[in-house]
Structure 1
Amino acid sequence: MLFIGIDLGTSACKFLLVDEQGTVKSVVSEAYEVEYPQPGWSQQNPAAWLDAVRRGIPRLLDGQDASEVCAIGCGGQMHGLVALDAHNDVIRPAILWNDGRTSAEVSYLNETIGAENILSYTGNIAFAGFTAPKLLWVRKHEPENFKRIAHVMLPKDYVNFWLTGAYVSDPSDASGTLLFDVAHRTWSEEMLEICGLQKSWLPQVYESYQPVGTLRAEVAQELGLPTHTVVAAGAGDNAAAALGCGVIGPGTMNVSLGTSGTVFIPTDTFVSGVGDKIHSFCHADGKWHLMGCILSAASCNAWWAQDILHTKDIAAEQVSICRENVQKDQPFFLPYLMGERTPHNDTSARGAFMGLSMSTSRSDMTRAVLEGVAFAVRDSVEIARSMGVNPSTSMVCGGGARSDIWLEMLADILDVSLVRPATEQGPGMGGAMLGAIAAGVFTSPEACAQAMVTGEQTSFQPKQELYERYNERYKLWRDLYPALSPICKTMIQ
């Protein structure tokens, strides 16, 4: 039997063909564009996702026995607002997770409605990337579009709708809408009223590993798949990536260094009262997790190398970096190129280099970028530690995880052992695993992970001496944001 995993990312959609042992049989990727109509805005045409599926899955199946495919699961970029009218037509481009246009709406929710009230309704406070503030923005700035809304979806849910015709979502993705009661895994009636939404607009919620339907006949024919192919509810990309790395249950952690960066810590129960610091969301395994999110992670490295240094050879830029060379006078970098979520919840935050001198080298600045992202990841870990959650080992995934020096640096900064899977396929592997469970091949996420998450792994151990030296730099780095924040706010007014 074979399973298709879809990783619906921000800049591309990746497709995996996987068997029940977790062996990857085929991988393809289809890129698409992101629109930035104004500074801090980020949106995308949902039709691009469907076009990617139409192109990608037939390519994925080239040379394979498509009759063996029994399920599809999708891990998708979270928080994006997909609005459909009564004819199922997309009303406007999807407002993405890293869009910062909703600062006024976030202030309204957290200050006028009240952060404590929002926290009690959903388990989290309002952040600019969440879906509810985007709906309030559309209601205020595009009232004619708001009047047309008949269905509200998240990106991967729109793909599942096209595949099956079903209006469905899952708890892990719904948790990031600020319309969902995370503790009780259901839509929040209070938030629907606040945002002026009808409950009928929202999809039915299934657990991530539950089947939500089979392929529509015309879709099956177009993709070259059997009509009985089961489609799983799927998950938000971070929950899917954690599942794909086998991060299930307490005592584990996953750090993702993708376009954004996340710290993902599973819990057996809902942890209340922390959603004003880091997110408290549902996991794809039917339980919960804590998550910190930084909006720019590997994208900082790509920006520095490609846009500033004008090179695509990112690895070559890191060759001269020495792990042990942690010096007090090295420059700092704030990675807030798209604003920041955890822990500042500040759309006006901006990136910065600090401490440059005539002796600063190109390598020093490259190191500062890697270090700055790692410090931002540590912010989330420190919040978890303050609540008594202190994992000593973490899986690590995402494009940035291919860099050994970055993982050595991250291990030293976090004082955590990092483990990189032999085959790191992120949300796509998690999606394939959810499909396998939905098809009845495995009885639980735990059983599926035991069977499919295998292979040699690479471990990166922290060095205590470097951790202590980084502690001093981290303390200084943390002083930069409050010092520069007033300037950033003035710049964008």
Structure 2
Amino acid sequence: MYFIGVDLGTSACKFLLMDEKGAILNITSRSYDVKYPHPGWSQQDPADWWRAVREGVPELLAGFDASRVAGIGCGGQMHGLVALDSDDQVIRPAILWNDGRTAEQVRYLNEEVGTARLLELTGNIAYAGFTAPKLLWMRQEEPELFSRIAHVLLPKDYLNHLLTGAYATDVSDASGTLLFDVARRTWSDEMLALCGLTAAQMPRVHESYEPIGTLRPEVAEELGLPRGVVVAAGAGDNAAAAVGTGAVGAGTMNISLGTSGTVFIPTASFSAGVGDRIHSFCHADGAWHLMGCILSAASCNAWWVNDVLGTDDMAAEQAGIDPASAPADLPYFLPYLMGERTPLNDVNARGAFAGMSMSTSRADLTRSVLEGVAFAVRDSVEIARSLGVDVASSTVCGGGAKSRLWLQMLADILGIELVLPTTEQGPGYGGAMLAAVAAGACGSVGECARELVSERERIAPNAALAGEYERRYQIWHGLYPALRESFARMGA
């Protein structure tokens, strides 16, 4: 049997073909644009995602026996608002996870509704990227469009709807809406009412590994697939990446260095009362997880190398940097190019270099960018440690994980061993694994992870640099508080 994993990302949709033994047979992708109509806004046309599927899946299957495909599973960018009318037409461009237009709605939810009540209802507080503030913004700023909403979907759920006709989501993606009771794994009627919605407008909630239906006949024909292919509920990209790297069950952890950066820590039970410091969400394995999210990770490096330095050769920019050398005289970098989520929850936060001198070189600034992102990742790890979580090692995935320099810096700054999986296609591989469970080829997500995921290499921290990175982290950690009011005035 074959299984297709879909990774619906911010800049591209990636497709992966996996056999029942976990071998990756083929990979392809289709890219699309993000629109920024106003400063801090970020949105996409969902038609671009579907176009990517219609083009990408047939290309993925070229040269393979498509009749062997038994399931499809999607890991998708979280929090995005896809609003459909009663004719299933998209009402407005999807508002994405990194959109910052909802500062006023977030303030209303956290201050007037109150963080204590939000934690009680959903297990989390409001962040600008979450779906509920987007709906409040739409109701206040686009009331005519809001009144037409018949169905609210998340990005990967829109693809699943077009594949199957079902209005469905999974628990991990629903957790990031602020409309979902994470502890009880169901929609919160009170939060829906607060946003002017009813349960009838929301998708049916499934566990990530459950089937939501099979391909519509006309879609199967267009994609070159057999009828009866099972479509799994799928998962938010971070939960899918965790599955794809084997971060399933307590005692595991995964760090993703993608467009955004995440620290993902599975837990056996719901962690109550921590959602004002770190996200507490449902996991794709049927349990829960803690998650810290920084909005700009590998995107910081892409901005620095592509947009500022004007090159596409990232490896060349890092080639002369020795990860074993002490970073004592480096400038500091705040990686808040799109505002920040965990732990700042500040849409006005911005990127900044500090501590430059006449001797600062191009390579120094390149290293500072990588270091600044790693320090931001450490912020979330420190929160987990403060909650008593034993952080001893972590798998790593995402585009940033291709940089050996960055991985070594991250290991040194966190003081833990990093594990590189044999398969580096986190969300897509996790989606294919969820499809295998949904189609009955694996008994559970845990069983699938144990059988299919293996490690390629481990990177140990350099103990000789621990003291220097600790000193620099503490200095770096004081920069945002010193600049917070200035950032707020800039945003105003």
TM range, smaller chain: over 0.9
Query: 1:216 corresponds to which residue?
Result: 216
How big is the shift at 1:390? Answer: 2.1
Structure 2 CA distance for aligned equivalents of residues 200 and 261 of structure 1: 34
Task: Give the 3-state SS of the residue equivalent to 2:333 in structure 1.
Answer: strand
Cα distance, 1:388 vs structure 2: 0.4
Contact in 1 for aligned 2:164/2:215 (Cα 8 Å):
yes
Could you state the TM-score of these two structures normalised by the residue count of structure 1?
Answer: 0.99
The answer to whether the 8 Å contact 2:408/2:461 transfers is yes
CA distance in 2, matches of 1:258, 1:74: 17
The residue aligned with 2:487 is: 488
Secondary structure of the 1:148 match is coil
Instruction: State how far apart, in whole Å, the 1-side matches of 2:210 and 2:95 are.
Output: 27
Contact 1:249 1:267 in 2 (8 A): yes
Residue 293 of structure 2 corresponds to 293
Aligned AA for 2:221? Answer: Q
Who is 1:92 aligned against?
A: 92
Q: CA deviation at 1:449?
A: 1.1
Question: Which residue does 1:378 correspond to in 2?
Answer: 378
The residue number in structure 1 matching 2:13 is 13
Aligned equivalents of 1:269 and 1:492: distance in 2?
39
Q: Shift of the alpha carbon at 1:469? A: 1.2
Q: Please name the residue that 2:140 is paired with.
A: 140
Deviation digits for residues 320-360 of structure 1 (CA, Å, limit 9, x no counterpart)? 11112223321000000000000000000000000000000
* Letter in structure 1 aligned against 2:388: G
**Partner in structure 1 of residue 118 of structure 2:** 118
Q: Give the AA of the match of 1:426.
A: G
Distance in 2, matches of 1:12 and 1:99, equals: 17
Report what 1:400 is aligned to.
400
Q: Whole-Å Cα distance in 1 between the matches of residues 110 and 364 of structure 2?
A: 40
- Quote the Cα distance in structure 2 between the aligned partners of 1:219 and 1:248: 33
The amino acid across from 2:325 in the alignment is N
The residue correspondences of 1:331-480 to structure 2 (distance < 5 A) are: 331-454=331-454, 456-480=455-479
* Alpha-carbon distance in structure 2 between the residues aligned to 1:386 and 1:302: 32
**2:153 corresponds to:** 153
**What amino acid sits opposite 1:64 in the alignment?**
F
Amino acid in structure 2 at the alignment position of 1:341: R
Q: CA deviation digits over 1:14-41, x for unaligned, max 9?
A: 0000001110001000000100001110
Q: Deviations over 1:170-214 (max 9, x none)?
A: 000000000000000000011011111111000000100000000
Deviation digits for residues 287-333 of structure 1 (CA, Å, limit 9, x no counterpart)? 00000000000000000000000000001101111112223321000
* Alignment check: 8 A CA contact 2:422 2:453 kept: no
What do the CA deviations read for 1:442-481 (whole angstroms, capped 9, x no partner)?
Answer: 1101111122213x51211012221221000000000000
Q: How many Å separate the matches in 2 of 1:58 and 1:224?
A: 6
Q: TM-score, normalised by structure 2?
A: 0.99
Please report how far the alpha carbon of residue 81 of structure 1 lies from its aligned counterpart in structure 2 after TM superposition: 0.1
Find the residue that maps to 2:436 and give its secondary structure.
Answer: helix
Q: Tell me, in whole angstroms, the C-alpha distance in 2 between the residues paired with 1:380 and 1:467.
A: 18
| Runs (5+) with no aligned partner, structure 1 | none
State the match for 2:263 in structure 1: 263
**Identity over aligned pairs, percent:** 67
Give the drift of 1:236.
0.2
Which residue pairs with 2:48 in the alignment? 48
User: Equivalents in 2 of 1:165, 1:352: separation in Å?
Assistant: 46
Counterparts of 1:111 and 1:392 in 2: how far apart (Å)?
36
Instruction: Please report how far the alpha carbon of residue 426 of structure 1 lies from its aligned counterpart in structure 2 after TM superposition.
Output: 1.1
Name the amino acid aligned to 2:399: G
Q: Report matched runs for 1:223-238 at 5 Å.
A: 223-238=223-238
Provide the rounded CA distance (Å) in 1 between the counterparts of 2:314 and 2:463: 28
* Amino acid of the structure 1 residue aligned with 2:474: K
- Shift of the alpha carbon at 1:13? 0.1
- Look up the match of 1:241: 241
Between the aligned partners of 1:280 and 1:141, the Cα distance in structure 2 is 30
Amino acid at match of 1:458: E
Return 5+ residue gaps in structure 2 as ranges.
none
Q: Write out per-residue CA displacement over residues 77-132 of structure 1, whole angstroms, 9 at most, x where no aligned residue.
A: 00000000000000000000000000000000000010100111000000000000
Distance 2:463 2:375 in 1: 16
Return the alpha-carbon distance in structure 2 between the equivalents of residues 90 and 150 of structure 1.
10
Within 2, Cα distance between the matches of 1:426 and 1:250? Answer: 19
Note if contact 1:420-1:457 (Cα within 8 Å) is conserved in structure 2.
yes
| Greater mean alpha carbon deviation, residues 367-376 or residues 442-451 | 442-451
CA contact (8 A) 1:20 1:451 kept: no
Aligned partners of 1:255 and 1:394 also within 8 Å = yes
Amino acid at match of 2:29: S
2:422 partner amino acid: A
The corresponding residue for 2:278 is 278
Q: Is the 8 A contact 2:324 2:462 kept in 1?
A: no
CA RMSD of superposed structures (Å) = 0.7
3-state secondary structure, aligned to 1:16: strand
**Structure 2 counterpart SS, 1:344:** coil
Q: How many angstroms does 1:422 deviate by? A: 2.0
Between the aligned partners of 1:193 and 1:230, the Cα distance in structure 2 is 34
Cross-structure match for 2:83: 83
Match of 2:316 in 1: 316
Give 4+ residue runs of structure 1 displaced > 4 Å after superposition.
none
Q: Distance in 2 between matches of 1:118 and 1:196?
A: 16
Partner in structure 2 of residue 175 of structure 1 = 175
CA offset digits 1:21-69 (Å, max 9, x no partner): 1100010000001000011100000000000000000000000000000
CA distance in 2: counterparts of 1:343 and 1:350, whole angstroms: 14
The code of the aligned residue for 2:358 comes to: M
Shift of 1:283: 0.3
Q: Which amino acid aligns with 1:457?
A: R
State the distance in 1 between where 2:217 and 2:84 align.
Answer: 22
Deviations 1:147-183 (A, max 9, x none): 0000000000000000000000000000000000000
CA distance in 2, matches of 1:475, 1:258: 25
